[in-house]
Amino acid sequence: MFRFGLIIATVILVVDQVSKLYLIDLMARHPGGIEVASFFNLVMVWNRGVSFGMFAGDDMRWILVAITAVISGIVFLWLRKATNRMLAAGLGLVLGGAIGNIIDRVRLGAVADFFDFDLIFMRWPAFNVADMAIVCGVIVILLENLFQGRKSDKMPS
């Protein structure tokens, strides 16, 4: 399971970093953004904080790198003990996304976000591939935990 999770983490990391290289260059040529659909735009947002820009500031950069690195280490250790593909996949998604955002903070000083959804009922803050992977990974981990809990409820003790 460990290898499976690492493959997922590596794929996410590569897709995240390649998409950021491409989109940073593209957005430099289109500073006003690009309307892809009436509800979806490509924009350039430098997120110096965490979710929704919380804890933004140059003084927080290295603290956020350290915290994210520690969390990534914990996820890595958890992945080593994963006993099924669903958990390994979820942990791989989280790990790949977290490392992608760490690389941004170290290399660029902030996380590059591009995807901007303006839905009828809300406007979602800009995000990137790493963010999508982290959210999807957490959902997979929660679902795996729920399914494992149901299996253990049905097992005789």
In a domain, 73, yes or no: yes
> What's the number of domains the chain is made of?
1
Nearest 5 degrees, angle CA 141-CA 146-CA 147?
Answer: 100
Active site residue 131: yes
Q: Find the domain containing 63 and state its range.
A: 2-148
Catalytic residue among 16, 104, 113, 116: 113
Paired strand residues for 127: 115
In a domain, 116, yes or no: yes
Active site residue 16: no
In a domain, 114, yes or no: yes
In a domain, 157, yes or no: no
Q: What confidence tens digit (pLDDT) does each residue in 62-105 have?
A: 888 999 999 999 999 999 999 999 999 999 999 999 999 999 99
pTM (2 d.p.): 0.87
